[in-house]
Amino acid sequence: MMLRITRSAFEVLVRHAEKAFPEECCGCLSSPEAEGPVTTAHPCTNIQNRLHEEDPKMHPRTARDAYHLDERELFRIQQELDDTGRHLRGIFHSHPNEESYFSAEDKRRALCDDEPLWPDAHYLIASIRGGRLATAKSFTWSPAQKDFIEEPMEVLADDA
């Protein structure tokens, strides 16, 4: 697997991540084709602070340490993509002042009985330091290794 994403889509998610700093951001990635490059980043609301306020025992983390993508927004995005024949291809989120790697919590929340909730998804993680992008890496589920592994990522010119 390899994530290919257009420059404009990449810049949208970077702006979202930098604006959310020092909190984590999240969103979705889509494309017109099931296999082609990601052409759109959909910034979404991280509702982790709300979950924490409602039930701090169940949700001990705040948005500084975690993300939970607003499910109503996800519903609307998926519905819009289905209506227009486009495809949800991946998920992005940020790690403020941390490296871009697939953390234990990322893995715990992406699995259900050791199987991925979103098989075939690209998980792009942006490391934001001091409010600016440091690095961005993409990960995907490896059925052979039973783990999320880093995959190559290429940012494409929009007219490519």
Residues that bind another protein (CB under 8 A): 24, 26, 28, 34, 48, 57, 60-61, 65-69, 71, 74-75, 78-79, 81-82, 87-89, 91, 93, 95-96, 98, 101, 103-110, 112-113, 115, 117-121
The smaller minimum CB distance to another protein, of residues 54 and 120, is found at 120
Under a CB-based contact definition with an 8 Å cutoff, are residues 112 and 95 in contact? no
CB of 159 to another protein, least distance (A): 25
Distance in angstroms (rounded) separating the CA atoms of residues 39 and 47: 25
Distance in angstroms (rounded) separating the CA atoms of residues 89 and 102: 18
- Rounded to a whole number of angstroms, the CA Rg of the chain reads 15
Structure tokens at 23: 């909190």
Closest CA to 153 of 33, 34, 9, 22: 9
CB of 6 to another protein, least distance (A): 18
CB of 157 to another protein, least distance (A): 25
> What is the maximal distance between C-alpha atoms in the chain?
49
The smaller minimum CB distance to another protein, of residues 85 and 159, is found at 85
The smaller minimum CB distance to another protein, of residues 3 and 121, is found at 121
